[in-house]
Homo-oligomer: A and B are copies of this chain.
Amino acid sequence: MTGTPIALLPERDEHVERAIVDGGATVVDDLAAATGLIWLGGLDDFPNSLPDNVQWVQLKLAGIEAFVDAGVIDDRRVWTNASGFYAENVAEHALALLLSVLHQIPAAVTRRWDKDGIDPAMRSLQGATVAIVGAGGIARALIPRLQACGASVIAVNRSGRPVDGAAQTLPAERLSEVWPRCDHVVLAAPATAETRHLVDASVLEQLPAHAWVINVARGSLIDQDALISALDAGSIAGAALDVTDPEPPADDDPLWDRSDVIITPHVANPASGLHATMAPWVRENVRRFIAGEPLLARLEPGRDY
């Protein structure tokens, strides 16, 4: 066998297999013979222990809080997640959710030719200010789309380091300034202890009454009880959620069957296209691994993702 041995587990996939080979490595099944591991599974079937010869593990998702919580991410090797790999898909879904609610498409689907109800409720992105909370890859992909629609963006990230195309970037500690200044909010932050219930009763009170909250990140970012109360009180216009807590919501969850809550079933990054979408990124990381260059989407040990 020639080439750097990379294990592809727990399943083979033609797109990822080709990416590994195109990146310059050889695909193996045996972890004991592998210097790297591309893991296409979830947490449940992840190996209990990894041999030390595995110097790098590539996970397939950007949201890896389950791996972090389980203590799987160790400091004996390099770990990479898929942060940024699916950013274009997720950004497009966020835009689709935002435009569809502003343009009353869910209402039009459920109410035949309700012109009197729908026409005055139509809203445009032109001239609107959209806050993007968690300004990583998704924000970088979303900002040009929003700009093309005539919206301006306030980005919020940890550092406050300016994000290209944002009218303003604020650090996380100044988050509270954002709510009264924006028209709509897109949540794109990882699920951490800090971001849990980031959108709570107080935030919902500060948003304008015409605001839509779009969540393409993790359900835990929103206090759903507070959301329902705010919607009942008319504090905001509505929420379009690709993620909920739990998923799916229980059959009797008050989120269901409201015209001011739109739920897509966690499909912003479709599982059916995931391997094809991640393949070029895997190829690049394999190339970098072999060349000894810094890997894309490297996890920082000890950080709460």
Contacts and interface: CB of A to CB of B under 8 A. Distances in A.
Interface string A78-105: 0000000000110011011101101111
Interface of A: 88-89, 92-93, 95-97, 99-100, 102-106, 108-110, 112-115, 118-120, 122, 124-126, 144-145, 147-150, 247-249, 256, 262-267, 270-273
A13 to B, nearest CB: 16
A246 to B, nearest CB: 11
B112 A109 contact: no
A256 B109 CA distance: 10
A119 to B, nearest CB: 5
A31 B74 CA distance: 83
Given A88-B126, A88-B150, A92-B124, 12 more contacts: A95-B149, A97-B105, A99-B100, A100-B100, A105-B264, A112-B256, A113-B249, A113-B265, A115-B267, A118-B265, A122-B272, A145-B145
Contact of A110 (B95, B110, B145, B266): B110
Contacts of A99: 92, 95-96, 99-100
Q: Of residues A93, A110, A120, A267, which shows the largest number of chain B Cβ atoms within 10 Å of its Cβ?
A: A267
B262 A120 contact: no
Given A99-B92, A267-B118, A272-B120, A105 B150 contact: no
Contacts of A92: 99, 103, 124-126, 149
A104 to B, nearest CB: 7
Of all A-B residue pairs in the complex, the 8 with the closest CB atoms, nearest first, are A148-B148, A113-B248, A96-B99, A96-B103, A100-B100, A115-B265, A122-B270, A120-B272
A63 to B, nearest CB: 16
A213 to B, nearest CB: 16
A17 B281 CA distance: 57
Contacts of A248: 112-113, 115
